[in-house]
Amino acid sequence: MALKNLGDLPVLPLPESFALTAAYNEDSFPNKVNLGQGVYRDNNCQPWVLPSVRKAEETLHNQQVNHEYLPIAGDSKFLTKARDLLFSPEIGSSENITSLQTIAGTGANHLAAIFCARNLHPKNVFISDPTWDNHHLIWEVAAPNVTRKLYPYYEPSTRGLNFEGMLAELENSAEENDVVILHACAHNPTGIDPTKEQWKKIAEVVGRKKLFVVFDCAYQGFASGDTDADAWAIRYFYSTLFAESSSLTPAGMFVCQSLSKNFGLYGERIGALHLVTPSSNSPEGAKAHLVQFVRAEISCPSLFGARIVQTVLDDAELRSKWQEDVRIMALRIKGVRTLLKLELEKLGTPGDWSHIEQQIGMFSFTGLSSAQVQELKEKHHIYMLSNGRMSLSGLNESNVAYVAQAIRDVL
Ligand code: LMR
- Whether 83 and 230 have beta carbons less than 8 Å apart is answered as no
- How far is Cα 332 from Cα 41, in angstroms, rounded to an integer? 9
Q: What is the DSSP letter of 15?
A: P
Which of 17, 135, 188, 386 should be mutated for ligand 1, with most atoms under 8 A from CB?
17
pLDDT in tens, 288-322: 999 999 999 999 999 999 999 999 999 999 999 99
Residues paired with residue 391 on neighbouring β-strands, in sequence order: 363
- How far is Cα 32 from Cα 55, in angstroms, rounded to an integer? 32
- How far is Cα 68 from Cα 49, in angstroms, rounded to an integer? 26
What is the dihedral sign for C-alpha 34, 37, 43, 46? negative
Which of 37, 40, 131, 187 should be mutated for ligand 1, with most atoms under 8 A from CB?
37
- Whether 377 and 28 have beta carbons less than 8 Å apart is answered as no
Task: State the ipTM, two decimals.
Answer: 0.94
- How far is Cα 14 from Cα 33, in angstroms, rounded to an integer? 20
Indicate if 129 belongs to the active site.
no
Architecture of the domain made up of 17-50+320-410: Alpha-Beta Complex (3.90)
**Given this chain, do its domains 17-50+320-410 and 69-314 carry the same CATH topology?**
no
Tell me whether residue 5 is exposed, middle or buried, using C-beta atoms within 10 angstroms of its C-beta: 0 to 12, 13 to 18, 19 or more: exposed
How much distance in Å is there from the Cα of 388 to the middle of ligand 1?
A: 14
Which of 132, 133, 365, 386 should be mutated for ligand 1, with most atoms under 8 A from CB?
132
Q: What pLDDT shows up at residue 92?
A: 80
- How far is Cα 32 from Cα 381, in angstroms, rounded to an integer? 5
| DSSP H helix total and E strand total for the chain | 16, 13
Say yes or no: CB of residue 17 within 6 Å of ligand 1.
Answer: yes
Say yes or no: CB of residue 305 within 6 Å of ligand 1.
Answer: no
How much distance in Å is there from the Cα of 17 to the middle of ligand 1?
A: 6
- Whether 305 and 57 have beta carbons less than 8 Å apart is answered as no
- Domain ranges within the chain, ordered by starting residue: 17-50+320-410, 69-314
Q: What pLDDT shows up at residue 279?
A: 86
Q: What is the DSSP letter of 269?
A: -
Q: Which of 32, 81, 209, 261 is catalytic?
A: 261
Say yes or no: CB of residue 132 within 6 Å of ligand 1.
Answer: yes
Tell me whether residue 394 is exposed, middle or buried, using C-beta atoms within 10 angstroms of its C-beta: 0 to 12, 13 to 18, 19 or more: buried
Cα 146 to Cα 149, 153, 168, 345: the distances in Å are 9, 21, 21, 46
Helices 400-410, 316-346: crossing angle, 10 deg rounding? 40
Tell me whether residue 252 is exposed, middle or buried, using C-beta atoms within 10 angstroms of its C-beta: 0 to 12, 13 to 18, 19 or more: buried
Say yes or no: CB of residue 190 within 6 Å of ligand 1.
Answer: no
DSSP for 162-173?
Answer: -HHHHHHHHHHH
Q: What pLDDT shows up at residue 205?
A: 97
pTM for the model:
0.96
Indicate if 139 belongs to the active site.
no
How much distance in Å is there from the Cα of 34 to the middle of ligand 1?
A: 13
- Whether 75 and 101 have beta carbons less than 8 Å apart is answered as yes
Q: What pLDDT shows up at residue 1?
A: 66
Tell me whether residue 174 is exposed, middle or buried, using C-beta atoms within 10 angstroms of its C-beta: 0 to 12, 13 to 18, 19 or more: buried
Q: Which of 75, 178, 193, 216 is catalytic?
A: 216
Indicate if 132 belongs to the active site.
yes
Say yes or no: CB of residue 162 within 6 Å of ligand 1.
Answer: no
- How far is Cα 384 from Cα 80, in angstroms, rounded to an integer? 37
Q: Quick one: which atom of ligand 1 is closest to the CA of 260?
A: 5
Q: In what order do the strands lie in the sheet with 147-152?
A: 97-103, 270-276, 252-258, 212-217, 179-183, 124-129, 147-152
Say yes or no: CB of residue 260 within 6 Å of ligand 1.
Answer: no
Q: Which residues in the chain land under pLDDT 70? A: 1
Q: Is 132 helix (H, G, I), strand (E, B) or coil?
A: coil
Q: Which of 48, 75, 132, 149 is catalytic?
A: 132
In CATH, the number for domain 69-314 is 3.40.640.10
Q: What pLDDT shows up at residue 2?
A: 77
Say yes or no: CB of residue 188 within 6 Å of ligand 1.
Answer: yes
Atom 5 of ligand 1: nearest residue by CA position: 38
- Whether 410 and 388 have beta carbons less than 8 Å apart is answered as no
Atom 9 of ligand 1: nearest residue by CA position: 17
